[in-house]
Each structure stands twice: as C-alpha cells, then as structure tokens.
C-alpha cells in the first residue's frame, strides 16, 4: 500500500517528519523516544525552547508522521507548546489543530482534552475569548483526573483547564464566573496533591476578587497563594502573590503595607533571579502601578529599568530561539526532500509532484529565514514594514498555496479511483498555480532586496517585463527616461508600490488595449518621480473597468506612498503617477 505525504505550507516554516534514506525504515525505539520527550520537557520547563527543539527534531527522525500514533500526538503537542512560548501563535494553532485530528483518529479522550486545551490557549493569547471559552469547555468534557496509563507522558489536567477558563472570564471582565472556575481548579488540584495547582488557583481567585473590588477576600487568597507557593518552592507564583498583596494594600490606601509587600517580592527576586518571565512581568506591572500612584520616583525608575532590562533580555533570547527553530525547520525539510527524491525511482509521476512541492517548501523556508534575519536587525521603526510584507505574502501567495493543497488532495483521490485523465488535468492546474506563485514570490523578493533599491534597477525590471509580455502580441515598446536617475535610490515601500502599479498598467495595456505601441516615460524633477504609461489602443469605459480589482489596487498602492494617480482613456489609455522621493 502506497504511503502518502501531506504537506502543510506557512510564512514561517513548520517542522515536519524525517525518515531515513536509501529505502531503510527508521527503527522504532520507544525508550529513546520517551527519553527524548523527557529531555524536551525539562528544557521547556526552564525556558530553553531552542534546546527543547533539538530533542523534538531527534524524535521527528524516529516517529512516523504519516500514521497517527500516541508518539506523533505528543510530538505535535510539544511542537505547539514550543511555538506558544515563542509567541508564534499562528503556527502553534495549526499544530494544535493537527493534534486534535490525531486525537480524533486515535479516539483518545485524554488526548482530545489536551488538544482542546492547547487550542483554547492559543485563542486566549490572540484575545479570541469566545473561541477560547468554547475549546476549554470542550476539553473539560473529556478531562479526567490522574493517574493515567504508563504510555502517557505529561498531559493537561482538569485543574489546568479550569484555571485557563477562569483566566478567560477574568479577561472578559466576568469575575463571578472566574471565581466559580477558580474554585473548581483549586478543588481538582487539591484532589491530586498539586501544590502548584493550588497556588496558581488561589492566585487567580485573588485576581478575580480584585475585579469585584472585594479587597479583603482578594488579600485572603493572595496570602493563601503565597503560603502554597512557599511550601512548594514555586517562587514565581510566590513573587506574583506579593504583587497581589501589595495591590490590595494600595487599594486600601495602606502605603506602608504596599511598599512592604513589594519589598518582600524584590528580596525574593534577588534570591531567585531565574524566575518565570510571565509571573515576573505581572509582579513588576503591579510594582510600577503602585510606585507611580504614590509618586515614589526613585523606586519607580529602578523598577522601570529592571522591567526594561528583562524585556530586552527576553526579546534577545526569543530572537535566538526563533532563529534556531527556523534553522531546525530548514534541516528537517531538507531531509524530507531527500526522502521524496529517493522514492521517485519507483513512482515517477507521484514523486515528481512531491519533488516540486518540496522545492517550493524549501524556497519558502529560505525566504522566510532570510527575511526574518534581515528585519530582526533593523531598528524598531521598520516594524510596520515587516507587517506589510507579511500581509503581501498572505494576500499574494495564500490563495495559490490553498489551491495547490486542495488539488493535491483531489489528485490523491483521483489516483485511488484510477482516473488518469483527471489526474493529468489536476497536475496541470497544480503546475500553473505553482508557476504563478513563483512569479509573485519573485516580485516580493525583489521588492525587499536592498541591492535593487536604485531607480535604475526598477526601470530595468519593468523594461524586461514589458518587452517580454509585449512580444507575444507584437506590440512595440518604447522607454524614455532621464540620465539623472542613475544612482537615485527609492525607499523599499515606494519602490515596491511603484513597480506593481507600473506592472499592472503594462499588463492591462498589452492584454486589453489592442494597440500597437506602448510608451513608458520616466522623469525626476524637484524630488518627485513622474511616470507616464500610454498606449494607442481602444481605451476602456470607466464604469466597466471599475468593476474589477486592478484599477482599485493601483489607486490603493498610490495612496500608500502618498502619490497621485490619474487615468485618462479618451483616446488610447494614459496612466500617470507622481510621487515624492524621500
């Protein structure tokens, strides 16, 4: 029976399965796999997610990703957890959905509960509170208390899900519901003797009572949380409890007591500096709020400096870890490429499709890695540019990739049903979609390449595109531009939008004008760029053309660079663009 490979595409790379080459099957080694999972969990518990990824990669080379199994579920859920703590929530949500599918195939209620908890967490992180509540409640339907069978490693327990549901209601400003689920979380944690579960449950309970403005009850539960945390050596929860106690004192206008509790927290932090950043940030936020309230300038400055230093260290560590994840993903994808190439000797037609898809995946991974490395080193002012590039990748490539994935599954069914003609038609569609995607990717890569930031490079690329496209319909193309453009550079955003506007105008003219001459004029005057694209064709009716997206997209791109776009189609068509060169 043939084995099929499902390939998932993303802006940033997913880690996929690996298999030994030369037709040899990777040996099943349950002891090694369990040891690797334990190592990965140890590193995740200490925040070393890049090291955890190394152990997960070792498991990828051993566990078959093609067949749903207990190990493939744990591998997927652990990958989701790594993405969660590196703030890669979109990738993590995809992994969580994959974990849900594996759990459904295995018909395992414990795994379903765990998967629903992860899906809820990712929705909670993205502030989709309704979806988060839905999945946490689904998880509770299948959750049971330990002990579990020996083959299960660490899973989400009922008190975890109740606590996450309580946090969801806190974010929704529904303190009564939050209190209800906090009490259930504490009850479940107490049943299995989880000191940390009781500590975090009472901590959340204190926060819920703060929302209800019930300071006395909040103080009581913060103090209980501190005692549980101290007894269980959970110093991160203890630290946050001090912040809650200080907050209660501040709300009661007890300045001395508030400062005393903060002092205890800072003393604990000095003794145990390697505290969980999530809980540390909560404590520092409370401290900043209280010091600011009482105008304690010296303490406020010191706390802000500490918080800033921690945020910078966390940001730097996250960058290093994300780079490691990307490199690991690239390595695993190369392994898959080798596997698919070796299998092509037996099943040529199927292997050709796999090879083409694998090459596209590798290309996307390389582009994503290079783009990330480049923009991570730029100043914070380029953050909006990174967001724009991400949007372009999604808009330009997402639909095409979705089409390829859909037709890949259709082709699979057609091969099973022995429909060779339909298979060939589907493969032709996949090929055309892939070629279109490569062209779009080339435009995006060119737009972000700093080597191509001169106006002369834009003109050369536009000229090449126009001449190649016009040659098909025997249209003559003339270019007129000033010699003053040599050495003139354009900002990346301006260069990209100018090129795409001109490309759309040239494409429309050649396809629809039925003319014989296309003239492109480019000039620079008083720090302004002037571009005229004119043909001697039949023109068009504005009310008909406005029904499409092309002209509107051109206007939107001109607006993004504060340019002026005019379109005249009375005799032939003339499109003029004016924009400032900064």
Q: Return the higher-pLDDT residue of 170 and 60.
A: 170
Task: Among 3-7, 25-29, 103-107, 389-393, name the most confident range.
Answer: 103-107
In this predicted structure, what is the pLDDT of residue 9?
A: 42
- Is residue 236 pLDDT above 60, yes or no? yes
Whether residue 21 has pLDDT greater than 60: no
> Which of 432, 451, 470 represents a domain boundary (last residue)?
451
State whether 400 and 488 are in the same domain. no
**Alpha helices (H) along 151-194:** 158-171, 175-191
Q: To the nearest 10°, the Cα dihedral for 46, 48, 51, 56?
A: 70
CB count in 10 Å sphere of residue 398 = 13
Higher local confidence (pLDDT), 544 or 209: 209
Sign, CA dihedral 125-307-210-212, equals: negative
Instruction: Assess whether 404 and 498 both reside in one domain.
Output: no
- Among 236-245, 308-317, 351-360, which stretch is predicted with the lowest mean pLDDT? 308-317
In a domain, 459, yes or no: yes
Co-location of 456 and 487 in the same domain: yes
Inside any domain, residue 390? yes
Statement to judge: residues 338 and 420 lie in one domain: yes
Whole-number pLDDT of residue 1: 39
Q: Do 474 and 395 fall within a single domain?
A: no
Residue 163 confidence (pLDDT) above 60: yes
* 457 plus 565 within the same structural domain: yes
Q: Looking at the predicted structure, is the pLDDT value of residue 313 above 60?
A: yes
CA end-to-end span of the chain: 62
427 and 464 both lie in a single domain? no
Q: What is the pLDDT of residue 42?
A: 84
Asked if the structure places residue 251 within a domain, the reply is no
Range with the largest mean pLDDT of 220-224, 450-454, 457-461: 220-224
Query: What is the pLDDT at residue 17?
Result: 40
Residue 563's pLDDT is 93
437 in the same domain as 463? no
pLDDT of residue 88: 79
* Residues 456, 440 within the same domain: no
Output the CA torsion 314→265→81→102 (10° steps).
-170
User: What rounded mean pLDDT belongs to the chain?
Assistant: 82
Question: Lowest-confidence range among 166-170, 349-353, 455-459?
Answer: 349-353
Give yes or no: residues 440 and 342 share one domain: yes
Beta carbons within 10 angstroms of residue 169's beta carbon: 24
Q: Could you tell me if residue 320 is inside a domain?
A: no
pLDDT at res. 178: 95
Task: Tell whether the model's pLDDT for residue 319 goes beyond 70.
Answer: no
Of 128-132, 229-233, 370-374, 536-540, which one has max mean pLDDT?
128-132
For residue 518, what pLDDT is reported? 93
Q: What is the mean pLDDT of residues 112-123?
A: 95
| 475 in the same domain as 432 | no
Under the banding of pLDDT at 50, 70 and 90, the label for residue 514 is: confident
Query: What span, in angstroms and rounded, lies between the C-alpha atoms of 437 and 93?
Result: 25
If you write DSSP's letter for every residue of 435-451 in order, what string do you get?
Answer: HHHHHHHHHHHHHH-GG
Q: Tell me, what's the pLDDT at 6?
A: 43
Q: Which of 451, 471, 502 is the last residue of a domain?
A: 451
Residue 323: is the preceding peptide bond cis (ω within 30°)? no
Residue 316: inside a domain: no
**Average of pLDDT values for 19-35?**
58
pLDDT (average), residues 4-9: 42
pLDDT level of residue 314 (50, 70, 90 thresholds) = low
Residues making up the chain, counted from first to last? 582
pTM, two decimals, is 0.52
CA–CA separation, 59 vs 74, rounded Å? 10
Whole-number Cα distances in Å, 163 to 120, 205, 276: 12, 9, 18
Contacts of 336 (CB under 8 A, 6+ apart): 5, 16, 17, 18, 19, 358, 361
435 and 464 assigned to the same domain: no
Q: Per-residue pLDDT for 341 more than 80?
A: no
Residue 382 is given by DSSP the state G
Taking only the tens place, the pLDDT of each residue in 390-414 is 666 666 666 677 778 787 878 888 8
Band of the pLDDT at 188, cuts 50, 70, 90? very high
- Residue 446, domain member (yes or no): yes
The predicted structure's pLDDT at residue 105: 93
Kindly report, residue by residue over 256-276, the tens digit of the pLDDT. 999 999 999 999 988 888 776
Please name the residues in contact with 518: beta carbons below 8 A apart, sequence gap of 6 or more: 466, 470, 475, 476, 477, 478, 506, 509, 510, 533, 534, 535
- Whole-number pLDDT of residue 457: 87
pLDDT confidence of 99, banded at 50, 70, 90? very high
- CA separation, residue 364 to residues 333, 353, 369, 397 (Å): 11, 17, 8, 10
The answer to whether residue 448 scores a pLDDT higher than 90 is no
In-domain check, residue 202: no
Our count of domains for the chain comes to: 2
How many Å is the Cα radius of gyration of the chain?
29
Distance CA 441, CA 422 (A): 29
Rounded to 10 degrees, what is the CA torsion of 235, 241, 246, 248? 180
Give the list of residues 6+ apart from residue 169 with CB closer than 8 angstroms, or none: 133, 175, 177, 178, 181, 208
Please determine, for residue 492, whether its predicted confidence score (pLDDT) is greater than 70: yes
pLDDT of residue 570: 76
Which structural domain range is residue 487 located in?
452-580
Q: Which of 451, 480, 509 is the last residue of a domain?
A: 451
Higher pLDDT, 15 or 518: 518
Specify the 3-state DSSP secondary structure of 526: coil
Average pLDDT over residues 123-130: 93
Tell me whether residue 435 is in a domain: yes
Q: What is the pLDDT of residue 5?
A: 40
Q: Specify the CATH number for the domain of residue 471.
A: 3.30.565.10
How confident is the model over 447-471, as a mean pLDDT?
85
């Amino acid at each position: 029976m043939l084995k099929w490979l499902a390939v998932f595409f993303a802006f940033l790379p997913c880690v996929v399965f690996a298999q030994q080459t030369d037709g040899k099957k990777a040996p099943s080694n349950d002891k090694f796999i369990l040891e690797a999972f334990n190592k990965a969990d140890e590193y995740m518990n200490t925040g070393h997610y890049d090291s955890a990824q190394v152990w997960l990669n070792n498991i990828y080379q051993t566990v078959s990703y093609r067949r749903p199994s207990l190990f493939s579920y744990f591998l997927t859920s652990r990958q989701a957890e790594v993405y969660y703590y590196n703030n890669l929530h979109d990738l993590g949500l995809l992994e969580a959905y994959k974990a849900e599918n594996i759990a459904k195939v295995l018909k395992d209620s414990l795994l379903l509960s765990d998967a629903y908890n992860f899906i809820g967490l990712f929705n909670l992180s993205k502030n989709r509170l309704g979806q988060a509540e839905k999945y946490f409640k689904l998880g509770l339907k299948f959750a049971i208390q330990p002990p579990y069978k020996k083959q299960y490693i660490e899973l989400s327990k009922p008190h975890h899900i109740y606590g996450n549901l309580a946090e969801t209601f806190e974010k929704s400003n529904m303190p009564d519901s939050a209190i209800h689920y906090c009490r259930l979380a504490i009850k479940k944690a107490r049943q299995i003797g989880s000191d940390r579960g009781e500590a975090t449950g009472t901590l959340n309970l204190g926060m819920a009572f703060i929302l209800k403005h019930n300071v006395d009850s909040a103080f009581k539960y913060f103090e209980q949380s501190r005692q549980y945390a101290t007894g269980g050596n959970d110093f991160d929860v203890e630290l946050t409890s001090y912040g809650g106690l200080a907050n209660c004192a501040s709300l009661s206008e007890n300045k001395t007591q508030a400062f005393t509790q903060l002092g205890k927290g800072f003393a604990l932090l000095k003794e145990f500096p390697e505290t969980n950043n999530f809980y540390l940030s909560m404590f520092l936020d409370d401290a900043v709020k209280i010091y600011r309230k009482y105008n304690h300038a010296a303490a406020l400055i010191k706390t802000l400096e500490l918080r800033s230093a921690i945020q910078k260290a966390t940001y730097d560590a996250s960058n290093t870890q994300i780079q490691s994840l990307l490199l690991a993903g690239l390595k695993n994808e190369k392994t898959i490429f080798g596997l698919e190439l070796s299998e092509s000797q037996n099943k040529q037609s199927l292997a050709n499709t796999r090879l083409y898809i694998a090459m596209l995946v590798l290309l996307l991974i390389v582009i994503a890695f290079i783009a990330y490395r480049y923009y991570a080193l730029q100043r914070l002012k380029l953050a909006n540019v990174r967001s724009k590039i991400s949007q372009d990748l999604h808009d330009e490539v997402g639909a095409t990739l979705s089409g390829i994935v859909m037709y890949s599954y259709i082709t699979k069914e057609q091969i099973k049903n022995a429909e060779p003609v339909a298979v060939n038609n589907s493969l032709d569609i996949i090929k055309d979609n892939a070629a279109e995607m490569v062209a779009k990717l080339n435009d995006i890569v060119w737009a972000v390449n700093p080597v191509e930031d001169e106006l002369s490079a834009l003109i050369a690329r536009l000229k090449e595109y126009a001449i190649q496209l016009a040659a098909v319909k025997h249209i003559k193309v003339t270019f007129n531009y000033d010699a003053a453009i040599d050495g003139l550079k354009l900002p990346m955003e301006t260069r990209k939008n100018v090129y795409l506007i001109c490309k759309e105008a040239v494409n429309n003219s050649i396809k629809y004008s039925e003319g014989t001459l296309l003239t492109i004029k480019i000039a620079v005057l008083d720090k302004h760029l002037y571009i005229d694209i004119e043909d001697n064709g039949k023109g068009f009716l504005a009310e008909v053309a406005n029904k499409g997206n092309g002209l509107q997209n051109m206007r939107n791109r001109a607006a993004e660079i504060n340019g002026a776009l005019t379109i005249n189609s009375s005799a032939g068509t003339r499109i003029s663009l004016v924009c400032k060169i900064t």
